Structure formats: C-alpha cells, structure tokens
Chains A and B, each alone.
Chain A
Amino acid sequence: MIKMKARIDIFKRYLPLFGQLVIKDIKLKYRRSFLGYLWSILNPLMIMGIMVLVFSNMFRFSIENYPVYLIIGQTIFNFVSESTSQAMWSITGNAALMKKIYVPKYIFTLSRVSSSCVNMLFALGAMAIVFLFCHARFTWNMLFIPVILVQVYFFALGLGLFLASGTVFFRDIQYIYSAFLTAWMYATPIFYPIDQLPIRLQWLIKHFNPLYAYVTQFRGIVLEGMFPDPRLVFYGFVMAFIMLSAGSVTFLKTQDQFILYI
C-alpha cells in the first residue's frame, strides 16, 4: 500500500516530463517542413487516398462505403503497429539518459504510446473529412468513439510495455515482432470483410484478435449508425485490461535489471 502511494507520488512528480516528451515527439515530427503541422492531417489523408484507390480498383469486395470501411481499420491498426514498434525501443533508445539520472523508466514507454495516440487523433481529423465526402451518417452514437480509443490505447500501452522490457534482454524481438505485425495485419479484417474467411478462421479471429473487436465497434457506429454490441465492448475492455496487466507486471518485475543490459 505504501509502495503504491510512493509510486503515485513519483508519477506525479514526473508528470511534467511525460508532457514534455509527448510534446517533443510531436514537435520534432514536422519541424522544418514547409506545411508544418498541416502535415499531420495531410499525411494520413494522402495515405488514405492511395489505399482507397488501390483497394477499390484492384481488389473488389462487396462492401458498402468501402473507403470509410478501409480507413477505420487502417487507422486503428496503424496506431497499434506504430505505437508498439516505437515503444519497443523506448527503453533501449533512452539508455544514455537512464544510465545517468534516475527517471521512472515507464515514462518513456508511456510517452511513446501517447504521442502515437496524438497522431491517431490527427488522423481522426483526416478521417472526418473522408466521412464528409463519403456521406457517412453523423449520429449521436459517435460520442462513443472516444471509449473505443481508450480501449485501444490501454491495449497498445500494455503491449508496448511488454515489448519494451523484452527488447532490453533480447534484441531480436524486433525481427520476430515485425513478422508478427505482418501476420496480424492480414489476420485483422482491415481491407476485406470478415465473412469472406472460412468459418473456423473467423471464429479464431473473433476470439483471439482484440483488434477485430475495436475495429468492428468503430465501423458499427460510423457505417450503420448503431451503438456497438455491448458484448464486443466488454470483450474489448477485458482484453485491454489483460494486456495492460501483463505488460505492467512484466515491466515492473524486470525494470531493476534494465540498467545491466542497456
């Protein structure tokens, strides 16, 4: 209990650092570019445009409002893949600092995932533009979207913490994880409808791929204007909770060893 309180005090003390790190990531991303922060909207918009062109001409699926369908899946998956890949290096990349000064180590992982999350919010801005063009229905149910983002955020944070501590001890996790990400992308119905898959595969994805739950909740709201299935929401939160607990426990249990390996 006392330990918990001490942890919270330390977190409060380093909250400004967390803020500074997130701001730093965002500032540096578009520094010295002509259009500056406008890129944060333009960039996802351009990528979305290309994706839509490619997938609505090369692969044809009978999905209504395909650009919207694709963009939702793409944005969520991109966030998870970007945030976890960067979080993976958050400890080893800041080794120089950690060897010199005491700083709670998870701050670096947390700030990486959070700055990716800010990028995703910018992408949501771009998404809103696409929604307008594709005549998606704007309903009150859209107010539920932040709740979906919370689920994805904590899921990615847990995974990021897990990967960050793993990479300290085994650097080749990066190769395994990048292969895993590719498999994960195909195992998530991003550009295809899930009912195109064999039943058994569908069953597997629905039960073991949390991204399916997040993407499906989001699409339900935007494409059908419906409130997401409560079971799906519950499942999403449970998966986020499991991932976050597993990641935090791994991280906290191994963090005293980091200094010997970085």
Chain B
Amino acid sequence: MDDGFAVRVEHAVVRFNMASERIDNLKEYFVKLIRRELMFKEFLALRDVSLEVKKGEAWGIIGTNGSGKSTLLKLVCGILKPYRGSVRINGSIAPLIELGAGFDGDLTARENIFLNGAVLGYNRAFMQEHFDEIVDFAELWDFLDMPIKNYSSGMAARLGFAIATVVRPDILICDEVLAVGDYAFQQKCERRMGEMRDRGTTLLYVSHSIDSVRCVCDHALWLDKGVVRMAGDVGEVGDAYIRGLQ
C-alpha cells in the first residue's frame, strides 16, 4: 500500500437539492405529492474533483465565492459524504473551520476548553495536560471563568485556535480563520502553523486572499463552479487565477 498520501480524493461528486425547492415539512410534502409536483432539482457543488495531497504538503484551495472550496474541505473532514467517487484520509485530522463552532455560550471558557476538546475527539486527561498551554497561547488567563457569550469574537477565535492547534494533527484544515483576531495574534497563528508545517503536518488551506495562500502553501488547487481548473505549484496556479479574474 502506498503510504505517501495524506488525502486522496478521487472523482468526487457532491450533490445538493436546490434550497428553493426544499421541503421541510410533512404538510407541504403531501400537498406536493398529491399534486405531483414533487421534483428534486439537483445542484452539483463538486463535479468530478480529484486531488492527491502527499504527506507534508501544504495546499491552498482558491476560487471565487460558491466555487465549492468549503464543500471540498467538508468532504475531507467527513462532514459530507460524496455522492459518487471516494475520499480517503491517511492520518488524524484537525479542522479549524470557523473557530469556536463547538463553544456553548453559557459555559465558561474553562468548561468550553474541555467541551471543545471532546468535540475534537480528545479525552479529559489529554486536555488537562495541555490546559495551561492552551490558555497561555490564547492569553486568556484573566477571563477563564467568564461565560463565552461575553467574549468578543476575537477572544473566542483565539481560544478556538489555541485548542485546535494544541493537538498535533497529521492534517490541519483551515478555512479563513485567520481573518479574525488582531495583528499580533495573526502573526502568532502563522508562526504556529509554520511550526506545525516544519514538524511535517499536512495543510489544507482555504482563503480568498491569494497572497496569504502564496505565503503559507506550496501547492494550490483552483476550483471554478465545482470543477478543477488547475492544480499544481502555488506560483503557477496563483498567476493563472489572477489572470483569469481580470
């Protein structure tokens, strides 16, 4: 078996039902059923996308809004299942998609650290061990016993990033998360991502900013309306993408 890959997506197709035709209650369902109006308009968010990421590579995924970037990441995370095709993952994954998604506003930061750790699949002992490290990195010692709902979005994001990166995943998945937080913290995040990369972590990174992709990644995938336009070296793909936009 080839062990060199971290993520292998083969001919993946993701299908959605169009939101406008979505029926979410029984009454409408039966009315439409009787009138024979039940039709499901399909929408393919990804069409025949293939991607092979080798261990240690950093891939940036670029494309305009609605091109399927986030859908591809969800596919890799296992949140979505492909309609056709296959997705194989080799190693542990830590998603950094919208930080703090697992937070409960009524719980304090201290409690949320354990809850969020559990959401990511880590047990209490592990989180206890890394508790200080997380709070140090997030710089939130003074606010530990405050409910998260009173946090600013930047503070919550800092905590989220600290929790998600304290684990040492084989594959790190980032979706536009560095946009929040002040400049100093952004620097800190980029440094930590750099460290993780040095240790051999594979990175999948989605961003609108072609500059930050160029800065962080060595490869890039250009998606356009669910189809792969180009894949390869970040410089070439980036240049082609910018030319394509003009």
Query: Do A and B share a complex?
Result: yes
B95 contacts which of A101, A176, A260 (Cβ < 8 Å)?
Answer: A101
A31, CB-defined interface residue at 8 Å: yes
Please indicate which of the listed interface residues A13, A17, A170, A256 has the most CB atoms of chain B within 10 Å of its own CB.
Answer: A17
A132 to B26, CA, bound (A): 48
Interface-facing stretch out of A60-68, A92-100, A123-131: A92-100
Tell me the complex Cα distance, A27–B107, Å: 9
- Complex Cα gap A171–B27 (Å): 10
Q: Is A259 a contact of B80 with CB atoms below 8 Å?
A: yes
- The interface residues of chain A, by DSSP majority, are classed as helix
**Given the interface contacts A170-B26, A172-B25, A259-B80, does A101 sit within 8 Å of B115 by beta carbon?**
no
A96 and B105 CA atoms in complex are apart in Å by 13
Chain B residues, CB < 8 A from A171: 24-25
B6 CB → nearest A CB, Å: 16
Name the contact of B101 in the complex, choosing from A16, A31, A100, A260 (C-beta under 8 A): A100
Among B121-129, B189-197, B217-225, B233-241, the stretch in contact with A: B121-129
B16 at the A interface (CB under 8 A): yes
A169 to B123, CA, bound (A): 33
B-side contacts of A31, CB under 8 Å: 106
In the complex, the chain A residue whose C-beta lies closest to that of B104 is: A24
B161 at the interface (CB under 8 A from A): no
Instruction: Indicate if A20 sits at the interface (CB-CB under 8 A).
Output: yes
What are the interface flags for A1-34 relative to B under an 8 Å C-beta threshold, 1 for contact and 0 otherwise? Answer: 0000000000001111101110010011001000
Known: A14-B121, A17-B118, A172-B25. A101 touches B102 (CB 8 A): yes
13 additional A-B residue pairs with CB within 8 Å, beyond A31-B106, A100-B101: A16-B123, A28-B104, A97-B119, A100-B97, A101-B95, A101-B101, A101-B102, A101-B120, A102-B79, A172-B25, A259-B74, A260-B17, A261-B24
